[in-house]
Structure 1
Amino acid sequence: MEIVNFFEKLAGRWFSQRTTHALSTQQSKAGKSDLEVSFLASDSAEVQTLCESLSESDQSSGAPLCGLQIQQSSTIEGDTKPSISTTLMVPFAPDSSASGHGKLVSSGGPSQRVQQSTYLLEDEVLTIVTEDDQAQSTERVWFINDNLRMRTGMMELTDGLRIASFCSEIRLGVKPPKAD
């Protein structure tokens, strides 16, 4: 499976159940999210605008392959007000010398900034690694079937706090079969 096909499969409306666990404090929290994920062609205005905002050195990754726009409304155990965000993710072609690793650029989300990550799509599991001066995170996404996907995450902050998460996500409305 290619990254573009994987991103197409991610599109749709999803309900997400999440458990987050701080390993050092042994505290866990549950949460839930409603996700609206839209697949964007590589020449869409949103993808092109994000690519134009990158510095020249960041643009050396080549042309974008596609994009995902994710609108998320989340609540976490103990919070009464939902958190609402929109994230745009754009993958670039894998580097042939890096064994299928590619670059992924995202903007928006809780941090409201442009972040660069690397991705690896192997055995139909997408792994995204993001590192900056505040944290390192690894997220893995895979499908059990077309309407059920799993997501795990591990984040380590520079102060040593480690947070693990697990999400099970159910597509709202069955994905129509592909035409022959």
Structure 2
Amino acid sequence: MEIVNFFEKLAGRWFSQRTTHALSTQQSKAGKSDLEVDFLAADAAEVQQLYQTHAEAVTDSATPLAAPLCGLRVHQSSTIEGDSQPKTSTTLLVLLKPQPGLKDSASDDSQGGTVLRSGAESQSTYKLEDEVLTIISDSSEARSEERLWFINDNLRMRTGMTELANGMRIASFCSEIRLGVKPPQPS
């Protein structure tokens, strides 16, 4: 599967159930989210704007940013066990075309490159291998690795591992169901 096709498949309305587990304290929390995911073409205004912002930040770099491949706008409304108010956020993700030979670029049998994220100064890397998307993010506060794959077109799984600067490690698992799916038509 091509990375753009994988991202197109992510679009839609999703219900997500999440469990997080702090490995050092052995505490777990459950949560749920409603996600609205929009696929954006490379030439969409939002994609180009985020790309330009990051491109300007790396003008002194010996390696310029690759061109945008596509984007996702993710609106999330989440409730976590113990919190009375839901939290809402909107994030824009922009995938850049793979650049062979760069550090952290994908091997020949996978597709990978850079992910830009709104509200984040740093860049992440992505890799699509065996129809599993892996996104790795590094910052001074934390390092995270998230993996996402489809069981079928309407059910996907996500796992994550985050290590905070203070050494705390948090694992997470999500199962996500696509909402508003039309039933099959009788033949």
Q: Given the two structures, how large is their TM-score scaled by the length of structure 2?
A: 0.88
The whole-number CA distance in structure 2 between the counterparts of 1:70 and 1:58 is: 32
The whole-number CA distance in structure 1 between the counterparts of 2:63 and 2:100 is: 17
The whole-number CA distance in structure 2 between the counterparts of 1:39 and 1:176 is: 23
Runs of 4+ residues deviating >6 angstroms: none
The residue type equivalent to 1:42 in the other structure is A
Structure 1 residues 73 and 115: CA distance shift in structure 2, 3 A: farther
Counterpart residue number, 2:162: 155
The whole-number CA distance in structure 1 between the counterparts of 2:115 and 2:51 is: 11
- 1:176 Cα shift? 9.1
Counterpart residue number, 1:93: 97
Matched, 1:75 2:82: no
Look at both structures and tell me which one has the larger radius of gyration over its CA atoms: 2
Unaligned residue ranges in structure 2 (runs of 5+): none
Counterpart residue number, 2:176: 169
Counterpart residue number, 2:126: 119
Counterpart residue number, 1:64: 68
Counterpart residue number, 2:7: 7
The whole-number CA distance in structure 2 between the counterparts of 1:13 and 1:34 is: 7
Q: Is the 8 A contact 2:31 2:78 kept in 1?
A: yes
- Cα root mean square deviation, aligned: 1.7
Q: Summarize deviations over 1:6-56 as a string: whole Å, max 9, x none.
A: 100000000000000000000000000000000001000100110111112
Q: Is the 8 A contact 1:146 1:175 kept in 2?
A: no
Counterpart residue number, 1:43: 43
Q: Is the 8 A contact 2:66 2:99 kept in 1?
A: no
- 1:175 Cα shift? 6.7
Greater mean deviation of Cα atoms: 57-66 or 26-35: 57-66
The whole-number CA distance in structure 1 between the counterparts of 2:62 and 2:8 is: 24
The whole-number CA distance in structure 1 between the counterparts of 2:76 and 2:63 is: 28
The whole-number CA distance in structure 2 between the counterparts of 1:77 and 1:38 is: 27
Query: Identity of paired residues, percent?
Result: 69
Q: Summarize deviations over 1:108-129 as a string: whole Å, max 9, x none.
A: xxxx334310011000000000
